[in-house]
Structure 1
Amino acid sequence: MQYSPEQCYHCGQPNQPDHAYTAEVLGHDRNFCCPGCQAVATAIVDNGLEDYYQFRTESAEQASLPDAAMLSRLQMYDDPQLQEDFVVHNNDAHEIQLTVEGITCAACGWLIEKQLSRLNGIRQVSVNIAQRRAWVKWDNQHVSLSAIIQRLRKIGYKGFPFQADDHEASYAAEQKRFIQKLGLAGLMTMQVMMLMAAMYFDLLDNMSAQMQQYFHWIALVLTTPVVFYSGSTFYLGAINALQARTVNMDVPVTLAIGVTYTAGVYTTVTAGSDVYFESICMFIFLLLLSRFAEHRSRHKAMQISANMLQYIPMTATVVDGDTLNSCLAKRLQPGQTVMVKAGEVIPVDGTIVDGRATIDESMLTGEFTPVFKQVGDQVFGGTISQRQTIYIRVTNPLKYSLVNQILRMQSEAMATRPRLALAADKLSQYFVTAVLTVAALTYWYWYQQQPEDALWIMVAVLVATCPCALGLATPTALTCAVASLNKQGVLVKRADVLEAVADCDVLALDKTGTLTDGKFSIVNHWHETAWTQNQIDRIMATLEARSEHPISSLFNADNLLSLTDFEIIPGQGIRGTIESKQYKVGSSAFFNNDVPVTPFSANVYLACNQTIIAAWQISDSIKPGVKDTLRQFTEVKKIILSGDTQANVERVARDLQIDEFHFALTPRQKLEKVSEIQSSSMRIMMLGDGINDAPVLAQSDISVAVGNATDIAKTSADIILLSPQLDSLNKVFCLARRTKSVIRQNMAWALGYNLLVLPLAVSGLLAPWMAVIGMSISSMIVVFNSTRLLR
């Protein structure tokens, strides 16, 4: 093969122009791309294998870098400009999602979390074993990103910043390795089983000892690649666990394979009679098959959760004066204006500044009815403008867009695990230790009774009681449940919430914006005769222009007045200074109920220097479908906690058949009411949408923010309904109960199977091949039971 000086003589990759790595090969100095290739070439020459380079027909794979060179490569991740693409800054903390290769089970996630948590500066680590991702929050003053990735490598896992394309490529490569190992194990298992069946059932009529020995040697040759190639996954997992001074389910698997294979080799060499090569092959094949099924189901769930990424376009059309320029969507910055034509995907979050269109937001909310948007309305990246061209002003860079926030929050959801998940993880650790102890005692006992059978009985114990199904019971169910809810427009920020939802006793609801549309209309109006209607409107428009309350849209004026000392008092109202006069807007509670009597039931008042000068009766309508949704909650008590007037709250409570309602509540009073309910040992779920709901959302056992909620409400919530409608709330309750039921079914099956099979294995009634089949079927049942949650 021909190589130019610009190419690596070992692997053919381009050489680095600023580094020279050379070694003498075949009498000439050769150039190499890295110290790894240089070291391999030198070793080949030193060991007299130089002819390899003379007769090879293709380039070798690039060699692994030594630790120093690898560390140098990893330090590139500390470059702030490079981090802009994948690191999120949250106050003084940094957050990142890492794709982690080599995760096989719940013990891997536990090991990674424990090891990374030991680094000084790590604030939180959460491993999502289903998606093979780690979410890490750290203090950059104490630890660097390269040090985090380096620690991962030291414990046997390869980590790199999550990017959708790279993650998918990593999955494809891992699946290819799975199929190769599984295919080899399956092929060899069939061959070895045919040989062993002929011997066990004497199908060759009085087979001679020489023929049996010949079959043993053939079986050994066929089994060896299965043990050393197909089974390597389990050995690496066991080594990683033991290096971290813990045990996982790969440890008994490795012991069973190692003991059985070593005993088979010894028996074959010494011309003995008992070998279990077919059990080894079948064990590895069925265990790989169950893990492959788990791998596929995890990927299916991951695709459902991450499908939103495929909707984000790579490029956007930026308006620069009178010209239109194309740029990468991820390079868009706040303040830029982007043109989106009819039928195009909106590339980033923004506000419409020109045009109107119907927007398909189904990828976010799960609702396929288009939403009409016009100037001033917010649009989100990944949604589709169906009709007419619109111009939007960018409000958030792509990495802070709603789509990416959703994906980050899903990763954070696995940071807090349900009690059942924690119990399962802890139980599997103890169970492995118990299995190893019972296996050792079993061998000791049978060695005293029947030495020739002691080894095989111990192997049967190790195989039959391997807690693979127990380790899969919780994570597979949670992953499928979160993915299913995401597909239906529900974002779960904490995985342990699903367990709490299933035990909910009270459903507390805010009224305005949650049960009602929040689209207010003025029913009646009164003002002092000393003030004109135009003056009142300008004052109200000036004050409400800075408010997020839904009634702000009712007051508009062309010329706003100068406003200072503006302040929002959550749950009461707003105040500010206009032309040296102090104005207040709010409910009667804001004025200590010291308000004038009006001929109608006023609920909003305007005061100038503590004197009421105007009043309004404002009402809104109940959201479509709310009544049908709440009617389905027959097992929980429904109450309304609202800051609105008695008349409005009572009307809504009567129409929706609410069990109990409370009106004119301040945020503190709402908080006290929730605490009072919790003091009676009842679990409460709170639905809210406004700034005034943030404290009570944080206090509740489960908090839910509806799609039209303010940012602070969404931050405080455990669950976010991406649609402003409440239709999906019943789906949350139903799936939470199903998830809890599935987890319990999985754990009951896993524990029940192991407890049932243990005495059979210990008593010697279970042959190794029987134990293999039982253990594998047990794991696959757990995986397939969990995938029912995706339907």
Structure 2
Amino acid sequence: MQTACYHCGTANLNNQFSAVVLGELRHFCCPGCQGVAQAIVHNGLENYYSFRSELAPKAVIEGDLDILQALRLFDEKSVSDEFVHQDQKGCEIQLSIAGINCAACGWLIEKQLSQLNGVKKVGANVVAKRLVVVWDEQQLKLSQILQKIQQIGYDAKPFAPEQHEALQQHENKILLKRLGLAGLMTMQVMMLNLGVFFDWFGHIDSETLQYFSWVSLILSTPVALYSAMGFYQSAWKALKAGAVNMDVPISFALLSIYISGCYATLTHSGQSYFESLCMFVFLLLISRFLEQNARYKAAQISANLLNHMPTMATLLIKGEHQLVLAKTLVAGQQVVVKVGQIIPIDGKVIQGVAQVNESMLTGEFELVTKHPQDSVYAGTINQVGTIVVEVSHALKLSLANQINQLQQAAMLAKPKIALLADRMAQYFVIFVLFAAVASFTTWHFIESDRAFWVAISVLIATCPCALGLATPVSLSCAIANLNKQGVLLKRADVLEQLNNIDWVGLDKTGTLTEGKFVLQTLHNLSELSDQQILTLAASLEQFSSHPIASVFKHHFDLLEVNNAKELIAQGIIGHIAGKEYRIGSNTLMDVVIPLHLQGLSVYLACENQLLAAFKLNDNLRQDSHALLDSFKPRHVELLSGDNLHVVQQLAQTLKISDWHGQLNPQQKLALIKQAQHSGHRVLMVGDGINDAPVLAQADVSITLGMSTDIAKSSADIILLENSLQKIPVLFKIAAKTQAIIQQNMLWALAYNILILPLAVLGILSPLAAVIGMSLSSLLVVLNASRLLRYRA
């Protein structure tokens, strides 16, 4: 029966080549098309066949050409739109990486990718086994990045929570199989050789001993060639790229023991140590298994946000309900969310009232009541009531996805101590190799029978695994803890910098105050009615991004405003019916303000006439006093664009001795630069709207609230819960993280310094070396995992 090739559409006469695609058996015209289809499925790109608008060209087999053709599909916009994020910085993608075992693996990938023209940033999160790459698509294609990763020896796929979880489980199963085999063979070989060592079988002749050696060789071979394969693969990837990692000395030691044992067995000379080989591999795999599970726990806390993202949504079309994929929703569509359902998309409530659990974003379990026009976010849970939500934007641009991007972007900027640890680990591995060679050479002249095993002890005991894990595991655990509490870091190095802060700048409106203004008094100085004054004010304030504009939003009969212009931190200028109107602070007014009205928040003027003055009230946050107490003994200054009288009152209330009012963004920026020029490390806390320049300039910056433009914020730290309570917590976790990193580094260095002389002098046996190295790495991971449970 003649059919068309599922991949390219060419006539297919015999249906000889087939593969399962999208859950069905598909037929292909040649092994090339079959190979490309299988590579597409393997790389998680099956949706290509669902969304393609035309058939693909016929595939031709030339070595790995089928894989390369599959990778080129990532360059097609219809495919890449789902997982590539674009902004002014370039294209950004988050990848799941299989085979990352240690910090050196991440360092190797970062080093190799950074050499590609067009790559702007690259950061590997070893704990979560993810990679974030930012690149210029004009200079470099995504397929070239993926191809480079494959050439290094790692398998990369676009990050998807379900696939990433499956990848983790797959690697875990492989590790358990290798561990189980090593454990089983170790018991057999140990029993056999212990019987020989302790003469449990009575006098044994040479033929029987040789027989036991062959049995040990047969039992040990699966351990050496299968169970230990992960160490060899990791070492080979590093050596192939012209680098070394922690698995290089381990692999060299294991292969040396195995090869020497094979030689001793074949030549009937010397001593074989197959029981030591099996025990080494078994203990190393136990250590790696425990490490992997501890690191996975830390990564899982951060990944929970996307693991609970909805896949389906109930679309409302002309009064009828239709079940659709959440990722297919577009702005303007309406979805129904019933009690107990996960809200599938970011949007605004247009009908109904509900109580929503937003703990997955903020870490707070108190239900939030949502009324019409209130915003809701994908992944939060509707606990009470049924609502109709109008979609604001695609699921890809949802707040939860933006948060996830921020979490991963945090690993792009490494603290200085992390960079130092990476460099030290690389040099230390080289030092270990030279130390092993020197030890072997020296002992060969002293006691040749022991030379080999002394070198093995040096290779294993001093492998700097603990040193490589000390910083990344600690940072990952700290970031995971903060994420769980609704605190997002855009740079991992801010935890290090927070400990050096000695100068704090605080914005007033929306930071120390609630930013919820109410009109307290209207002073009408014109012949217009109060309603007309409010209408004029509302018509102008609709063009303002300042929280004060919310005071006038309830006046709906707005006038037409031409040439409206917002002056940051001053107000709005616009023309209504041919006349120029100004609304804002006294610095914007070109009229004389009466003495009794000076010190008010907002003024309205037309041409050269002052029409009205507004006295607004903005309540102080309840946690402002506690925040200021937590900053002691750091220097604190209040920086505000509000008028001097209002700022002075707030400063006196909060007992802030240094304050500034009526500042524009340039003046605020000058004060921050002046403090930095004086040698201070500056923290700026602001609302992220008018304070963007100072937030970007400060050494560390914090903004509050769930802004819809959160990914473009200038701040380094974002508090999803609109509260100041998390700032003292942030400082305490930063201090705790620094302490644990220092403890881990001190332990890792102390262990290697103490263990090296013992190994070189032959005091430390190879078995003790394995136990010591495994325990040192495990201790570092367990110490860092305390940050997951730390509560300030």
TM-score by length of 2: 0.90
Residues 168-216 of structure 1: per-residue CA shift (max 9 Å, x gap): 1111111000100111112222222333333444444555444443333
> Aligned residue for 1:763?
761
The percentage of counterpart residues that share the same residue type is 45
Q: Secondary structure at the match of 1:716?
A: coil
DSSP 3-state at the match of 2:691: helix
1:530 maps to which of 514, 527, 530: 527
SS of 2:384's equivalent in the other structure is coil
Q: What is the SS of the residue equivalent to 2:526?
A: coil
Aligned mate of 1:567, from 565, 571, 591: 565
The count of residues paired between Structure 1 and Structure 2 equals 753
- Contact 1:381-1:401 within 8 A present in 2 as well: yes
Residue in 2 aligned with 1:740?
A: 738
Deviates more, 1:271-280 or 1:332-341: 271-280
Q: Is the 8 A contact 1:355 1:390 kept in 2?
A: yes
User: Structure 1 pair 783/712, CA: closer, same or farther in 2 (3 Å)?
Assistant: closer
Task: Say if 1:787 and 1:362 are closer, same or farther in 2 by CA, change over 3 A.
Answer: same
Partner of 1:683: 681
Amino acid across the alignment from 1:476: V
CA contact 1:521–1:620 (8 Å) conserved in 2? yes
d(CA) in 2 for partners of 1:79, 1:710: 28
Q: Matched residues in 1 for 2:626 and 2:319: separation?
A: 51
What is the CA-CA distance between 1:132 and the residue it aligns to? 1.2
> For 2:514 and 2:764, how far apart are their aligned partners in 1?
65
Match of 1:455 among 452, 466, 477: 452
SS in 2 for 1:513: helix
Q: Which amino acid aligns with 2:594?
A: P
Contact 1:249 1:466 in 2 (8 A): yes
Q: 1:530-583: per-residue Cα shift (whole Å, max 9, x none)? A: 332122111111111222322222213231111121222222222222111122
What's the secondary structure of 2:690's corresponding residue? helix
- Asked whether 1:316 is paired with 2:313, we answer yes
C-alpha deviations, 1:316-350, integer Å up to 9, x for none? 22222333322211011112222222332211111
Question: Which residue of structure 2 lines up, in the alignment, with residue 516 of structure 1?
Answer: 513
Give the match's secondary structure for 1:334: coil
Provide the secondary structure at the position in 2 that maps to 1:677.
Answer: helix
What code does the residue aligned with 2:27 have? P
Q: After superposition, where does 1:474-623 map in structure 2 within 5 Å?
A: 474-555=471-552, 556-591=554-589, 594-598=592-596, 601-623=599-621
Checking the alignment, whether the CA contact within 8 Å between 1:626 and 1:725 is kept in structure 2 is no
Trace 1:266-277 onto structure 2 (pairs within 5 A).
Answer: 266-277=263-274
Q: Which moved more, 1:652-661 or 1:159-168?
A: 652-661
Shift of residue 476, structure 1, vs aligned partner: 0.8
Matched, 1:643 2:641: yes
**Partners of 2:564 and 2:573 within 8 A in 1:** yes
SS of 1:469's partner is helix
1:295 aligns with 2:292: yes
Q: How far apart are 1:709 and its partner, in Å?
A: 5.1
| 1:17 match | 27
Q: C-alpha separation between the residues in 2 aligned to 1:775 and 1:593? A: 77
> Matched residue of 1:514: which SS?
helix
The range that moved more, 277-286 or 475-484, is 277-286
What is the SS of the residue equivalent to 1:120? Answer: coil
Tell me how far apart the structure 2 counterparts of residues 21 and 237 of structure 1 sit (CA, whole Å): 31
Q: Which whole-Å CA distance do the structure 2 matches of 1:505 and 1:212 have between them?
A: 72
TM-score in terms of structure 1 length: 0.90
Partner of 2:400: 403
User: For the residues of structure 2 that align with 1:571 and 1:703, how far apart are their CA atoms?
Assistant: 19
Greater alpha carbon shift after TM alignment, 590-599 vs 286-295? 590-599
Q: Map 1:38-187; keep pairs closer than 5 Å.
A: 66-91=63-88, 93-187=90-184
Aligned partners of 2:303, 2:242: CA distance in 1, in Å? 35
1:230 aligns with 2:227: yes
What residue number does 1:59 align with? Answer: none
The correspondence for 1:196, drawn from 193, 206, 209, is 193
1:767 shift after superposition: 1.4
Q: 1:442 to 1:649 in 2, by over 3 A?
A: same
Q: Please, which runs of 5 or more residues in structure 2 have no aligned partner?
A: 1-12, 39-60
Q: Is the 8 A contact 1:714 1:720 kept in 2?
A: no
Distance in 1 of aligned mates of 2:198 and 2:171: 39
Instruction: Verify the 8 A CA contact 2:453 2:766 in the aligned structure 1.
Output: yes
Give the partner amino acid of 1:369: E
Q: Which amino acid aligns with 2:334?
A: T
Q: In 2 relative to 1, CA 612–240 (structure 1 residues): closer, same or farther, beyond 3 Å?
A: same
- Name the CA distance, whole Å, in 2 between partners of 1:10 and 1:642: 65
Instruction: Give me the whole-angstrom Cα distance separating, in 1, the residues matched to 2:20 and 2:86.
Output: 39
**Structure 1 286/593 Cα, relative in aligned 2: closer, same or farther at 3 Å?**
farther
Please say if 1:775 is aligned against 2:773: yes
Distance across 2 between alignment mates of 1:137 and 1:74: 18
Instruction: Name the residue aligned to 1:61.
Output: none
State the Cα RMSD in Å.
2.5
Please give the alpha-carbon distance, in whole angstroms, between the structure 2 residues aligned to 1:599 and 1:735. 47
- 2:580 and 2:606 in contact (8 A); partners too: yes
CA offset digits 1:412-436 (Å, max 9, x no partner): 1111100010001011111011111
Hey, which bits of structure 1, 4+ residues long, moved more than 6 A? 9-15
Q: What whole-Å deviation, never above 9, does each CA across 1:734-767 have from its counterpart, x for those lacking one?
A: 1111111111111111111011011111111111
CA contact (8 A) 1:693 1:713 kept: no
Alpha carbons 1:688, 1:697 under 8 Å: kept: yes
Larger mean Cα displacement after TM superposition, 437-446 or 88-97: 88-97
Counterpart of 1:711 in structure 2: which amino acid? Answer: D
Aligned residue runs from structure 1 range 259-408, under 5 A = 259-408=256-405
Question: Residue type matched to 1:608 in 2?
Answer: C
